[in-house]
Chains A and B, each alone.
Chain A
């Protein structure tokens, strides 16, 4: 099963269904994620509708909590993780490294077919007794442990935990494969410090993923035992429901939160870092100049990765954790702004003294840079333990994390799809529709999550079925209608993308191997790239990945990172 040779498949099933080709698997992930995105997006639409017109009671409180929980779960684990990390990562990493495939093609296939049943379980959980899980995507016990506490903590929560277990297994297989591929399958001459930043970020993301998911697995096992085995890992003594004391004794609910956020925080970087890496590559390709501060960016990535593993407690400032421990987490967390500022600075400086070609992917890339700034600075308000007392569990948090793991990741995913579409299908997507899609996605999404920050400043609390009975939440509610309309707009605009994507797949304008005159190795392979990526010999790398020169003639302003002998 180790690094072995595999032949090009001939049957339909082996070619498109149980394929071991990283490009097909990448597309399978992306298509699965696009389907789940429609589900997750629809849940968001329903959530917004309910909290904007609570008096209409469009859904019941039970259903509302399931909507909130499953929207978060689906978007984080089954949309962004699958599309950006597993999907685009699978497609890009071997191609950018000049490799024939991932290090372990069979494991790669297994990892995809492990996540499919997870998606199925998530969808099925909506129609089981008690409804889907309703304890939030964070699944804090005791709420998530006891069906007495909320109906969704019955069978729905069990299916949620099983789906998460399958997802973690799949994601770990994928992460191991990325690490082995990056360390082992680079083309000749492709030293680590010559890898495109996209590959660097996928590598860091994989390292963080494989190190931080196992403790969540431990937490999930203990939660399952508390739910079904009568143990008391997380359940304390004296829990009272319906005038009855439960038999559980001595557990600590905070323990679950520690284990959850030990994953939960690095998970943010697992998702965001590839988005940043892709943005670097898109900017370099269309600004026609080398990335500013390649080395400092790589170092910054390592610092971000390290710091992200030791700051999980900033999600728990007001949970009853010792405040001095919280203060440590605060001091450490705000340090992350330093390496992040380096990344942001380098992104902006990569446009300095450039010669921008405003192709569609560049819209998305430049748009992402501003969102990284807005979302990043917003994080400081939450990382500082004192201001977090006010902002914790308010809409400020909702706005902030949506900007980072929602907007940055989604924008960069779209940018990447427009950019690498030719390598997938040998055709380009329609540019006019691409720009329309950009404006109708970017403006509403950034505006609505920015407005959520303001709602949070005014005191609006999250996960509320109905804010209207509170006087202090009235100012925040005034913005609700605008936000909801923007949500509808952003959701509807995706129809343009779906049309463009599937239409261009068959009817788009055909292009050659390197339509953008870009430097990285994937553009030396034919479009679409065949099985094995390069029909003949593999490219040999002789320079850094971004050899652009904005001073040269427009047609000869770049030198590919490698040449195919």
Chain B
């Protein structure tokens, strides 16, 4: 083991990192994000693109540097100047700290906060309101009816076929409530606020094309808001493991014009 040549060298290994950098950056660059169909979704996509650009560039740079080092220093030549001062090492720690703090906090604060305000801010008074309730394994959708008020519910009255949400008959506000299975009808170009509840376990209300995802917790009312930009039918899915039928907890969000929404609502019978 004393001969210099006996140590294995493989400078070509550096190519692995060049290839990795190219494949990863190229792979993400293909554009896998489905086209967004909601107002705040552009902001979310903006943050994602910003992170793809910055971290992609850094990752590519890192791959090139590592690959270059392996090729250059993998040939077995003696190297001088490997030992550097504490000061240099400290500087090369401060540089990545500053770069990463800047990149990441710009993503969260500069890019993120305006979107945050859209997603979690106060909804306008004329926002359209609808309730979606998760249960194993379907989405129950409730419309407040002509009075615009969601009536009282009592889970003791829940019956899968007779009264799936447990509407309370004695409450006048509940009497005109409309309950539909799996179909969320909402207007286009107007903010929708979805009241989210669950009857049994945790579900998650997900409309990927709207970039919407919000868990529905039993015993708790959550809200999510978004403004669809296009008329059409969009798939609704459950993102939180909720049991055997998790994968088939499919629903649809039907975005239509104000007029056809009004027509559709007027055709519906109150549940009670």
Contacts and interface: CB of A to CB of B under 8 A. Distances in A.
A245 interface: yes
Nearest to A341: B96
A334 B51 CA distance: 12
A444 interface: no
B211 A253 contact: no
Given A354-B82, A464-B247, A469-B248, A387 B220 contact: no
Nearest to A142: B201
B244 A390 contact: no
- Size class of the B contact interface (CB-based, 8 Å): 35 or more
A356 B70 contact: yes
Contacts of B211: 389-390
A550 B78 contact: yes
A475 B31 CA distance: 11
B272 interface: no
A390 B105 contact: no
B149 interface: no
A149 B55 contact: no
Nearest to B240: A393
Nearest to B209: A472
Contact of A363 (B13, B83, B112, B166): B13
B204 interface: yes
Contacts of B100: 337-338, 340-341
User: Counting chain A CB atoms within 10 Å of each CB, which of B11, B43, B199 scores highest?
Assistant: B199
Contacts of A143: 201-202, 241-243
Interface residues of A, number: 114
Interface string B1-34: 1101001111101001100100110011010111
A357 B34 CA distance: 46
Interface in A514-554: 515, 517, 549-552, 554
B222 interface: yes
B93 A342 contact: yes
A320 B13 contact: no
A33 to B, nearest CB: 26
B134 to A, nearest CB: 12
A295 B241 CA distance: 44
A354 B69 contact: yes
A370 B20 contact: yes
User: Counting chain A CB atoms within 10 Å of each CB, which of B92, B201, B202 scores highest?
Assistant: B201
Nearest to B49: A387
A143 B77 CA distance: 61
Interface in B127-176: 135-136, 155-156, 158-160, 166
B235 A472 contact: yes
A238 B103 CA distance: 45
A565 B268 CA distance: 92
A296 interface: yes
B69 A348 contact: yes
B59 interface: yes
A150 B250 contact: no
Contact of A386 (B32, B81, B111, B206): B111
B115 interface: yes
Given A363-B13, A384-B104, A150 B243 contact: yes
A472 B217 contact: no
A290 interface: yes
Interface in B47-101: 47-48, 51, 55-56, 58-59, 62-63, 65-66, 69-70, 73-74, 76-84, 86, 89-90, 92-93, 95-97, 99-101
A385 B74 CA distance: 42
B235 A150 contact: no
A253 B218 contact: yes
User: Counting chain A CB atoms within 10 Å of each CB, which of B28, B104, B109, B155 scores highest?
Assistant: B104
A252 B9 CA distance: 59
A121 interface: no
B243 A461 contact: no
A348 B97 contact: no
Contact of A335 (B81, B104, B204, B216): B104
Contacts of B62: 344, 348, 370, 373
Contacts of B43: 386
Interface string A217-258: 000000000000000000011111101010000111110000
A446 B21 CA distance: 12
Interface in B203-233: 204, 206, 208-209, 211-220, 222
B237 interface: yes
Given A136-B241, A243-B160, A357-B9, A236 B32 contact: no
Contacts of A276: none
Nearest to A257: B202
A156 to B, nearest CB: 14
A552 B242 CA distance: 63
Nearest to A394: B239
Given A245-B158, A355-B79, A552-B78, A323 B202 contact: no
A251 B217 CA distance: 11
B92 A253 contact: no
B219 A251 contact: yes
A475 B237 contact: no
B222 to A, nearest CB: 4
Contact of A380 (B55, B135, B217): B55
Contacts of B90: 295-296
User: Counting chain A CB atoms within 10 Å of each CB, which of B56, B248, B250 scores highest?
Assistant: B248
A515 B6 CA distance: 13
Contacts of B81: 353, 551
A392 B51 contact: no
A-B pairs with lowest CB-CB distance, top 4 = A236-B219, A334-B104, A457-B32, A238-B155
18 contacts: A149-B136, A287-B73, A334-B107, A341-B99, A344-B96, A352-B82, A355-B78, A358-B10, A370-B63, A377-B56, A386-B111, A389-B44, A389-B213, A454-B30, A461-B237, A467-B247, A469-B250, A472-B209
Given A359-B8, A463-B241, 12 more contacts: A240-B200, A320-B214, A327-B108, A334-B105, A353-B73, A366-B16, A380-B55, A384-B104, A446-B20, A451-B27, A549-B83, A554-B4
Interface of A: 61-62, 65, 68, 135-136, 140, 142-143, 146, 149-151, 236-241, 243, 245, 250-254, 287, 289-290, 292-296, 299-300, 318-320, 323-324, 327, 330-331, 334-335, 337-342, 344-346, 348-349, 351-359, 363, 366-367, 369-370, 373-374, 377, 380-381, 383-387, 389-390, 392-394, 431, 446, 450-451, 453-454, 457-459, 461, 463-467, 469-472, 475, 515, 517, 549-552, 554-555
Interface of B: 1-2, 4, 7-11, 13, 16-17, 20, 23-24, 27-28, 30, 32-34, 43-44, 47-48, 51, 55-56, 58-59, 62-63, 65-66, 69-70, 73-74, 76-84, 86, 89-90, 92-93, 95-97, 99-101, 103-105, 107-109, 111-112, 115-116, 119-120, 135-136, 155-156, 158-160, 166, 199-202, 204, 206, 208-209, 211-220, 222, 235, 237, 239-248, 250
